[in-house]
Each structure stands twice: as structure tokens, then as C-alpha cells.
Structure 1
């Protein structure tokens, strides 16, 4: 017997997420209540310059109550995050870094915190960057920082990054990025 959601009731509605109360039948037949954060999907981009630099953004994060260095990312626009992930990645790359990618592709994805949240992040690798900015969102105050690929990976290995989505995305792209020569 699989876990089965018997009932779902929205308890809270916010801009990018809802909180629902679930009644669930567990594989052993017992009934249990859970809270679920229903978050719109998101994208994260690993923008790599032709000279082997990864572009990061430094921004204040409310949950950490401090500035974090992380890869550019953002939610999918549209009704319940219905925007195509590729279009969202292209837009977010331009908004957050000021660069458009002529070679962008999805390399994977992951659930952020599946124990209580359904947020799924699509990860894109963006190369062949050309300057073509879009305005940043009104609530974004970002500082762009470029790091050599190997330095970024050493920071990840030495627990310098505190943003898990940045660490996860770097791991997904590691084989390709660490084995590429840039001129």
C-alpha cells in the first residue's frame, strides 16, 4: 500500500506559496495529518563566461537574515508557476546578471525540502553570454560577482556557500565545468 492523500485544505495563501493541511493514509493504514508548503516551481542558472568565470549574485535573504552568495534563480511566472522553465531561466539570467545566454540548456532539477514543501527547481547551464540586461525586480538588490570555476568548486567543497540550491546546482554541472578548458 502506498501513502495516499485523503484530504487537502488550504490554510494560508501567499504570493509564491500556499500552506495546506493534509490528511494522509500511511502504508501501514494509519491516518496522520501533515502541513505542506505548496511553492511555485523555480529555476536556477549557472552562467559561465567564455573565460571560465561563473556569475553569482550576492543578496540579502530573509530566512538567513544576512547576505548570501548564490547562483541566479527565480520563480516561474504565470498562474501557479505555469511559465515554461526555459523561458524563466532566460529571463532570470538577464534580470539578475545582465547577460543573455546564446547556449542555455536544462541539466537537471531537484526538490528543495521535500519533507514539507513541494518546491521544484529546474537547473540550467548558460554559456555564450552576451550583455543584454532586463530590469531587476523591484525588491531585488543584487551585487554581481564572478568567480573562476575552480574557485567556486573549492568554495563549495569547503562549505563556504550557505545556499543549498547553489551547492546542488554546482554539483550537477561539476563534471562538465571542471573538464572544460576556457580561453
Structure 2
């Protein structure tokens, strides 16, 4: 069965700084009609940085949508025309001051595919060196340095409320412990 929903009409309801909200009239796989609310997003990038000492910089930042202060890896929105690797370098430097001589693409995912097209690319930063952070003027955050082992244990216990952070740390755990060592 073809599960595709075909858009027959689309209306932009809101255009903001970060997102656009569209209403779609769709034809469902059984030929009936439906409506979908879709949030369009330019995409994002997150970076899991591991220092030579085996520590990971985590960002503590208030998130209005959840009404909570969350602990996260550095991340940010892609700018128009910007490749994910460039966004990764920029966000790591802006939020933590760190630069990496090696960035490895370790996957990505749709953050909420039921209503948003936001895709987040995840990078592992190795051989990082410390510099000066330069956050956006409307960005207030604190940097915490966690040991790699402590952060992975926290993720394995399901204690991160932020999906990109949990995903990244579990990827790191899998790479170090479950990868084919042959």
C-alpha cells in the first residue's frame, strides 16, 4: 500500500523568525480527505564535543516551550545556505568557545515528524581546543563540564529530557562499546 499523503492545497498561516506554520489539505491513502498542520524549519545541528581530558561541555539553558531549564549539548539552527558541518563548527564555537580539528557525522533525526519537518544533524567533535565563547545577544546559558562516563550514565538512565543530547550520548556509548572491533 502506498502510504503517501498528497497535498492538494497549502496555506501559510504564520511566518516567524525560526518557523513557518502551514495548513495542508491532503488526500489520504484511501482517497479520503484530511487536514495537516505542518511546521517548516530550516534544520538544526548539534555537537557532542569530547575534550582530550575526556570531558564533555553541556549547556544549561532555559527553554520557553518546555518552561524548563534543560541540560543539552551545543546546538543551533542552520542559516540559509549553510552546510550542516559549517553550522556545527559555528555553534560549538559560539556556545562553548571550543573548536574541533575533527567533526564526525554520527547521524541525525526528525525532532517531531508528526507535525514538523525539522531535521537535526549530529556531529561528534574530537581533538577540541578551548577558546572564547560568543553567544547570541538573546541567548543566556551556562556551560558545565561533565566527565564522558558521567554523561553517558545519565543518558543510559534516561535522565536527559533533551532528545538530541540523549541520542548523541547513546551513539557515543554504542560506538565505544558495541561497534565491531574486528
| TM-score, length basis structure 2 | 0.91
**Structure 1 unpaired stretches of 5+:** none
1:67-78 → structure 2 map (5 Å cutoff): 67-78=69-80
In the other structure, the counterpart of 1:114 is 113
Secondary structure at 2:24's aligned position in 1? Answer: strand
The answer to whether the 8 Å contact 2:156/2:170 transfers is no
Displacement after TM superposition at 1:173 (Å): 2.5
Distance in 1 between the 2:177 and 2:146 partners? 13
Distance in 1 between the 2:152 and 2:133 partners? 28
The answer to whether the 8 Å contact 1:47/1:127 transfers is yes
1:134-145 → structure 2 map (5 Å cutoff): 134-145=133-144
Distance in 1 between the 2:139 and 2:177 partners? 31
Distance in 1 between the 2:164 and 2:134 partners? 24
Q: Comparing 90-99 with 158-167, which one deviates more in the overlay?
A: 158-167
| TM-score, length basis structure 1 | 0.91
Displacement after TM superposition at 1:159 (Å): 2.4
What is the aligned residue count? 177
**Structure 2 unpaired stretches of 5+:** none
2:10 is aligned, of 8, 11, 23, to 8
Q: Comparing 128-137 with 25-34, which one deviates more in the overlay?
A: 128-137
Distance in 1 between the 2:21 and 2:15 partners? 7
In the other structure, the counterpart of 2:35 is 33
1:42-121 → structure 2 map (5 Å cutoff): 42-78=44-80, 82-121=81-120
Secondary structure at 2:92's aligned position in 1? Answer: helix
Distance in 2 between the 1:145 and 1:12 partners? 36
Taking only aligned residues, the RMSD between alpha carbons, in angstroms, comes to 1.6
In the other structure, the counterpart of 2:148 is 149
Displacement after TM superposition at 1:134 (Å): 4.8
Decide whether aligned partners of structure 1 residues 133 and 110 sit closer, same or farther in structure 2, where only a CA change above 3 A counts. Answer: same
